[in-house]
With several copies, the nearest count.
Chain A
Amino acid sequence: MPGGPEADRLQDRRLAGTTRLIEFNRVAKVYRAVDGRPVRAVDSVSAAIGAGEFVSILGPSGCGKSTLMMMLAGLLSPSEGEIRFKGEPVFGPQEGCGIVFQDAVLFPWRTVLSNVMLPGEVRGLPKAEQERRARAMIRLVGLAGFETKFPHELSGGMQQRVSIARALSLEPSLLVMDEPFGALDAMTREQMNLELQRISLDLGATVVFVTHSIAEAAFLSDRVFVMSGRPSTVREIVDIDIPRPRRIEQMNSDAFGGYVSRLRDLLDHRGEPA
């Protein structure tokens, strides 16, 4: 098991030179449980994420990725340790943070358009501006023509895309995405990957991204955090030293293949199955 002062230093070293946006200091999360047997979901994670970085998180099902994301977004408090944002302890969600939850979390009483307009509405943007942004995002995720539909009238993948459009609508500087493309077909997913890459670079946004697709993680990320099984920690961090933006064709390159098999190996050698 990693963790301990040695691991701490390991993480720190990797980020030398860039601005630290988010820092995890021996963060752990224990969930109380109805059956009285608490679950230690995340155990002593120490890591840092730089501003503008694209970080993917890979790990077995149930290892604590979503838990980590929620803590990172300031929506869940760690049981132990501390999370810092721009050096300050995190006490709640950050300004300009867009979130895609693992399930879509749409509002059934709102149309697609109105769901995507929600963040603008909350921020108090002018109506026309809200609608302009929302329509653009809906087009981006391939749902033009479905603006007036309600969530229950959409397919699973379409619902997920609505929640992506919503997260992007305010041009966030921090994007936290929990398996956003899990319910999409390969083609749509590829398009969405390219769009996400473009947007994140255009905005200079920091992205923390959970995925189960090794290729996707390698394609999109500056760094990939590989998590161990529960009680999990960040087992290894893999730098993908290919300059971004990347083109789909590059996925066939040897360098890329190397990263993918490296990540696959790391995942294969994880501890206990979840």
Chain B
Amino acid sequence: MKASATTQELRPWRPVFTTPRGLPAIICTIVALALWQASVALFDVPAYVIPAPATVAARIYEDLVSGLILPHFWITFVEVIVGFAMAVVLGMGLGVTIGLSPAIDRAIYPLLLAFQTIPKVAIAPLLIIWFGYGLHSKAVMAALIAFFPILVNVIAGLRTTDQRRLLLMKSLRARPLQVFTKVRLPGMLPYLFAGLEVGIVFALIGAIVGEFVGSSVGLGSLIIQRQAVIDVAGVFSVLAYLSVMGLLLSLAVKLIASRTAFWERPPETTNR
């Protein structure tokens, strides 16, 4: 216990990560980049394996000002958003169905699990056959990968619902839908948001993997094209844009989460 902890006005224990407060992240990133640059120089890593960060930075800039990256970024972004939306509907829908009914759980959870273990890359051709070469097949791929973490967290969240609140609702003769919206849903939000946080990132990966197989636009396709010509700096530049998209999307989810599940913020009566 440090002295300062009790004397100064208390801060909430764990602030939500926000960009303006991003200084430590920036410092950390700079340190990481410096280490990377140094080790590339030190170990004489060939440029066709890992390029120097300066080279990558130049490519990132070039990709931006030439306008080359934008259409790819946009396409992938749309795929991710559409896929994620489908994943949320799918994950929450199935999660709620399963979480509320042990019978359905036993009936379909193993099937879902079995389906989930199928590497989506292995059925990418099928997806293309079913959903075409455009946005849909990639969005479906994103959805198929992202729905599972959402599903599992929804089920876990429903399982931990406070039973006394359920009893209260029962005493009010609440209808199942009311019980759901007024007790179960708010109660499971922290779980749901953890699921969404994982889900949004996996939706991104899903869209990219979908593009690896059957696409000529999008960041994933760009990665494949640049990889083929051993344009490693180019690949890293795309990865950087990918990370930016991931950070933005994840930040959005976190912001919504912190706005919504505000009561999970620890009360003031604590010192750490």
Chain A interface (Cβ within 8 Å of chain B)?
31-32, 34, 70, 73-77, 79, 89-93, 95, 97, 99, 101, 103, 105, 107-109, 118-119, 121-123, 150, 152-153
Contacts and interface: CB of A to CB of B under 8 A. Distances in A.
B58 interface: no
Interface residues of B, number: 31
Contact of B267 (A89, A119, A152): A152
- The list of the 8 closest CB pairs from A to B, nearest first, reads A92-B1, A77-B6, A108-B263, A122-B172, A99-B171, A91-B3, A93-B171, A122-B174
A107 B165 contact: yes
Contacts of A123: 172
A119 B172 contact: yes
A175 to B, nearest CB: 11
A228 to B, nearest CB: 22
A204 to B, nearest CB: 20
A85 B263 CA distance: 34
Given A99-B168, A99-B171, A101-B164, A32 B268 contact: yes
Given A122-B182, A152-B263, 11 more contacts: A70-B269, A75-B269, A76-B270, A92-B5, A92-B6, A107-B186, A109-B186, A109-B261, A122-B172, A122-B175, A122-B178
Interface in B140-193: 164-165, 167-175, 178, 182-183, 186
A135 B171 CA distance: 22
A93 B269 contact: no
B10 interface: yes
A93 B9 CA distance: 17
A93 B171 CA distance: 5
Contacts of A91: 1, 3, 5-7
Nearest to A119: B172
A92 B172 contact: no
A109 B263 contact: yes
Interface string B228-240: 0000000000000
Contact of A76 (B262, B263, B269): B269
Given A105-B164, A122-B172, A77 B268 contact: no
A86 B268 CA distance: 27
Contact of B165 (A74, A105, A152): A105
29 contacts: A31-B268, A70-B167, A70-B269, A74-B6, A74-B171, A75-B171, A75-B269, A75-B270, A77-B6, A77-B8, A77-B10, A79-B9, A90-B6, A93-B1, A93-B171, A93-B173, A97-B171, A101-B164, A105-B164, A107-B186, A109-B186, A109-B261, A109-B262, A109-B263, A121-B182, A122-B172, A122-B178, A122-B182, A150-B263
Looking at chain B's contact residues, the main secondary structure is: helix
Nearest to B164: A105
B65 to A, nearest CB: 45
Interface in B5-43: 5-10
B225 interface: no
A103 B3 CA distance: 28
**Residue of B9, B173, B268 most packed against chain A (CB within 10 A):** B173
**Residue of A73, A90, A119 most packed against chain B (CB within 10 A):** A119
Nearest to B264: A108
B171 A73 contact: yes
A75 B271 contact: yes
B245 to A, nearest CB: 31
A105 B162 CA distance: 9
A101 B269 CA distance: 13
Interface in B100-132: none
Contacts of A103: 164
Contacts of A122: 169, 172-175, 178, 182
Contacts of B172: 93, 118-119, 122-123
Contacts of B168: 99, 101, 105
